[in-house]
Every structure is written in structure tokens, then in C-alpha cells.
Amino acid sequence: MPDFFGLREIRAMLSTIKQNTEKIMSQQSDIDAATAQIGATMTDVQAQVTQLGTDVAAVQAALAALPASLDTTALDTAVASMAATQASLDTAVGTVTALVPPAAPPVPPTA
């Protein structure tokens, strides 16, 4: 069969385009899965940060209610360290949250 208008070359280019498209689509699905995992992890970490803040406040309240005659110096230091850890975690969560792209708006139906 004669090669009219370079059809053989066009078919070869189409085959290459198809292969490249399949690779890109595969890579995109990997990126989408990783993004979803980051989002799920962020939700978990944010819940834990909230819990840590609640726990710090509860421990501080319990310490304040103890009789003044008790030496709570070591415990006070530990609670302060826990509060500092929470602050560092808040910063880290904010940094990672900034990496998660916002959800794409829904695509309107076409008429």
C-alpha cells in the first residue's frame, strides 16, 4: 500500500503521542493518590494538634488546683515543654497544609 501524504509517519507520531499520554495519565494518578494521602494525614495531624492543646489546658488547670505545698516544678517544666511541642507542631502543620492544593471546583455540566 502506498504511503499517501506521510500516513506512516503520522501513525507513528500518533502512537508516540498515545504512549506519552498514557505515561502522563499514570503519573497524574500517582500524584492524585499522594495528594489524597497528604490530605488524610493532615486531617489526622490537625485532630491530634487539637487534642494536644486540650490536654495541655487540662493539665495546666489540674496543676493550678493542687495545694500550694506540693512541688510541681518538674511537672510545670514538662507541661511547658509539651506546650512548646504543640506550638512547633502547629507551625509544621501549617507548612504542610500550605502544600495541599485546594479542592477543584466542580465542573459544570455541558449542554
Whether residue 65 lies inside any domain: the answer is yes
Whether residue 99 lies inside any domain: the answer is no
pLDDT at 2 (0 to 100) = 61
Whether residue 108 lies inside any domain: the answer is no
Whether residue 30 lies inside any domain: the answer is yes
Whether residue 32 lies inside any domain: the answer is yes
State the total domains in the chain: 1
Whether residue 103 lies inside any domain: the answer is no
- Residue range 35-40: mean pLDDT, rounded: 82
Q: Looking at residue 102, what DSSP letter applies?
A: P
Whether residue 33 lies inside any domain: the answer is yes
Q: Looking at residue 70, what DSSP letter applies?
A: S
- Residue range 65-70: mean pLDDT, rounded: 85
Whether residue 50 lies inside any domain: the answer is yes
pLDDT at 88 (0 to 100) = 83
In angstroms, the CA 61 to CA 76 distance is 11
**Domain extent at residue 50:** 8-88
Q: What is the pLDDT of the chain when averaged over all its residues?
A: 80
